[in-house]
Structures are given as C-alpha cells and as structure tokens.
Amino acid sequence: MPESLRTELCGVPLRTPVLLAAGTAGTLDETAEILDLSRIGGVVTKSITRQARDGNPEPRITWTRAGMLNAIGLANPGVDAFAEQVAPRAGAMPCPVIGSIAGFSIEDYVAVAGAMEAAEGIPIAELNVSCPNVHGGVEFGADLGALSELVRAVRPVLASTKLLVKLSPITVGTPHTPADLARVAADSGADGLTLCNTIPAMGIDVRTRRPLLANVTGGLSGPAVHPVVVKIVHDVHRRFAREAGLPIVAAGGVTRWQDAAEFILAGASAVQVGAGTFADPKAAEKIARGLAKWVRDQGHTAVVDLVGAVAIDG
Ligand SMILES: Cc1cc2nc3c(=O)[nH]c(=O)nc-3n(C[C@H](O)[C@H](O)[C@H](O)COP(=O)(O)O)c2cc1C
C-alpha cells in the first residue's frame, strides 16, 4: 500500500485509513477468504456480548434503493467462546484488530471489555452503545448520564487498550445532538469516536403487506446515510475533537473512495466500510487505492494532511 496512506489511530499504526466496520466482516478473520487483509487498515470484530446470541429471526438483511436494512440483533458467540476460540487468532491477523463490545448493562460491557483487554492483538476496543436492533441497544448511547457512567466504568478495565465509543446518528426524542453525546464520551475517557451506527428504519413489501425484516424494524446503512454522517463528523470535529486531538472514525455509506475522502475532509482520521463490503467484497482495498490517487492529485504526500481540510469560507 502507498506510503501516503499510512496513518495512526490512538497511537496504533495503520497501513491505510480504511477499516472494515463491526458486524460486516465476520466475527474476526472470515473476510480473509475474499480480501487481502494486509492491504486494509484494520478490522472491527462483530460486537461481542456477555452471553451468546442467535440474533433476530430471518430475513434480517435486505436492500433498499439507497442502502441496506439489517436487523441482525447482535448474533455472536458470547464472550467466553470469543475469548477461547476467536481472540487467540487476533495476534496473527495481518492488520490491527478493533474489538467491538456490546451489552445490556454496565456489568455486561465491563465483562466483555475484560476479555478484549486480556486478548493479545486487540489494541483498540469499540464500545457499541448504538445498536438499534435489540431492545435496550441504544439506551446507553442516548442518555448523557448513562453514557458517562458506562464509559467511566469500562475505561479502567481497558488499561492497555484504547477506547473508541460508537454513537448513533439519531438523537430524535432527546434534547441532545450527536456532538453533545460525543463530548460526554470524550470527557468520560474515550480515546476516540466512531461515528456512526445505523439509522433506525423500516421497509414494507407492498404486495404481501409484510415488513421486509422479520424483526419489523432494522438499521439503515449505505449510501443513504452518508451525507447525514458527513455532517455529524464535521460538527464533532469542529466543535471540539479537532482542538482536543480526538480521532474520529467515520462509518456510513463508504462505498467509493470519494465517500472516504469526504469523511477525511470533514475531520475523520479513518473510515469504516460496512454495506460497501456486501456490495463488493474488495471495496475497502479499492477505496484505499482511490484515496492514494486523490491524495496525490490534491498535491499532498500524506493523507493525514487532508484530515479536516474542508474549505469553508469565513
Ligand atoms: C449486517 C450488518 C451488521 C452490523 N453489525 C454491527 C455490530 O455488530 N456492531 C456495530 O457496532 N455495528 C454493526 N453494524 C453497523 C456498521 O458497523 C456500520 O456502523 C453501519 O453499517 C454504517 O456503515 P455502512 O453504511 O458502511 O454500512 C452492522 C451493519 C450491518 C450492515
């Protein structure tokens, strides 16, 4: 991969700023069959919960005209099986691994954080406080007090592991903006932010009159959400992350290099590809190649020089 793409996230060196998003790349290393993982920036694991979960009934993935609807419901092997059978492979991965943590109580999150901390080869954890597809999935990420309490409880468990907090793009029904929640996460000990998870959504088959997903509702991702998340990344970067030196990892509709470039200009240090990998399993690799050419065309030698470099008058 070109030198110009080299960057770092919370002090962890990345070969490129293009990562695979949580839940879209298998539990850990399954995408190695279709993708050269030494050519991407990193992999985020499936979100791991304390107990094993089968997830929601099928159908739980479907496509809309502008993206993807999913209601996987955090299907995962649970923290014990993850620690015994999956995490030991993390150290052998050809790219950094970010361990995604989900839960339904502070104790749940703390237990999974302990497993991430104990694992060799998981230098960064990502706290998923924004899953729209399970009961209680967004509660921690929608309330300033609960979010602060959770991050403060998990932070000391991750003694040698950096912590990203992954937020929802939607705060409707609360008096807060995503930037308010981002600031609370940062003030409570987050080393960086992942912006964002999917947007609660629903589709209906008008012939059968049945919801497209067995769970009735799900999360929208892909191109439709991209401009929404560009604004959130820009707002968070401008309001405090830039000054605080807090890295933002942007997720939402990155399917082409232009989408990744937009996120970088808005203030993201790295991006994650989710739905894009379903559409084209090699998307992350292709996006990185496109980014390298863009950096050159912009007259720069390093992608990091373009972080937050959107040109706004005044
Ligand atoms: C099938 C599927 C499963 C997902 N599972 C998780 C998950 O386990 N944990 C999580 O934090 N986000 C999960 N997400 C959200 C993605 O990580 C990402 O934040 C979101 O899809 C936006 O990126 P995209 O538009 O590139 O898909 C999932 C998304 C999809 C499409």
Helical pair 257-266 and 283-297, crossing angle rounded to 10 deg: 60
Q: Is 100 in the pocket of ligand 1 (CB under 6 A)?
A: yes
Q: How far apart are the first and last CA of the chain?
A: 37
pLDDT bucket at 207, cuts 50 / 70 / 90: very high
Q: What are phi and psi of 87, to 5 degrees?
A: -55, -35
pLDDT at 172: 87
Looking at residue 144, the DSSP 8-state letter turns out to be H
218 lines ligand 1 (CB under 6 A): no
State whether the beta carbon of 198 lies less than 6 angstroms from ligand 1: yes
Q: Hey, whose CA ends up nearest to atom 6 of ligand 1?
A: 23
In whole angstroms, what is the distance from residue 243 CA to residue 22 CA? 27
> Model's pTM, two decimal places?
0.98
Residue 131 among the catalytic residues: yes
Q: Is 72 in the pocket of ligand 1 (CB under 6 A)?
A: yes
Nearest CA to ligand 1 atom 26: 274
Ligand 1 centroid vs 148 CA: distance in angstroms? 23
Please tell me which residue in 10, 95, 131, 196 is annotated as part of the active site: 131
Q: Where are the alpha helices (DSSP H) in 101-176?
A: 106-118, 139-142, 144-154
The DSSP call for residue 71 is -
Give the model confidence (pLDDT) of 262-286 as tens digits. 999 999 999 999 999 999 999 999 9
Q: Whose CA is nearest to atom 10 of ligand 1?
A: 22
- The percent of residues in the chain predicted with pLDDT above 90, rounded, is 93
Instruction: Tell me, rounded to whole angstroms, the distance of Cα 297 from its chain centroid.
Output: 28
Q: Say how many Å lie between the CA of residue 18 and the centre of ligand 1.
A: 15
pLDDT interval class at 40 (50, 70, 90):
very high
Q: Are the C-beta atoms of residues 263 and 230 closer than 8 Å to each other?
A: yes
Q: Where are the beta strands (DSSP E) in 76-184?
A: 97-101, 124-128, 162-167
Mutate which of 47, 221, 228, 258 to test ligand 1's pocket (most atoms within 8 Å of Cβ)? Answer: 221
What is the predicted pLDDT for the residue at 153? 97
Q: What is the mean pLDDT of the chain?
A: 96
For 141-182, write each residue's pLDDT tens digit. 889 999 999 999 999 999 999 999 999 999 988 899 999 999
Structure confidence at residue 134 as a pLDDT band (50, 70, 90): confident
24 lines ligand 1 (CB under 6 A): yes
By the 10 Å C-beta count (0-12 exposed, 13-18 middle, 19+ buried), 47 is classed as buried
Ligand 1 site, residue 10, Cβ cutoff 6 A? no
At residue 133, does pLDDT exceed 90? no
Over residues 230-238, the mean pLDDT reads 98
Q: Which domains does the chain have, with CATH numbers?
A: 3-55+72-202+220-306 (3.20.20.70)
Please write down the HEC assignment for all residues of 229-276: HHHHHHHHHHHHHHHHCCCEEEECCCCCHHHHHHHHHHCCCEEEECHH
CA torsion 297→301→302→306, rounded to 10°?
Answer: -50
